[in-house]
Amino acid sequence: MIYSILLFMFILDAALLMVVVLLQDSKGQGLGGAFGGSGGQMGTAIFGGRGAADFLSKATTWLGTGFLVLAVILTFSYQQRTTTASLLQQDAARDAQRQLAIPQTGLPLLPGTSPVAPDPGGTALPDTSGVN
For the chain (132 residues), the mean pLDDT of every run of 10, in chain order, is 91 96 71 54 55 84 96 87 68 76 63 62 60 58
- pLDDT (0 to 100) of residue 107: 64
- Predicted confidence at residue 94, as pLDDT, reads 79
Residue-range domain boundaries for the chain: 35-78
Asked if 48 and 98 count as a contact pair (C-beta separation under 8 A), the reply is no
Tell me how far apart the alpha carbons of residues 96 and 94 are, in angstroms, rounded to a whole number: 5
- Per-residue model confidence (pLDDT) at position 16: 96
Question: pTM for this structure?
Answer: 0.48
- What is the Cβ-side half-sphere exposure of residue 115, based on CA atoms within 13 angstroms? 13
pLDDT for res 125: 58
Distances (CA, A) of 102 to 51, 92, 95, 124, 125: 75, 16, 11, 20, 22
Given this model, what pLDDT does residue 2 score?
Answer: 86
Q: What's residue 89's pLDDT?
A: 74
Q: What is the pLDDT of residue 18?
A: 95
Residues sharing a CB contact under 8 Å with residue 2, sequence separation 6 or more, in sequence order: 77
**What pLDDT, on a 0 to 100 scale, did the predictor assign at position 90?**
75
CA-based nearest residue to 57, from 97, 14, 25: 25
What is the 3-state secondary structure of 7-73? HHHHHHHHHHHHHHHHHCCCCCCCCCCCCCCCCCHHHHHHHCCCHHHHHHHHHHHHHHHHHHHHHHH
pLDDT score recorded for residue 88: 77
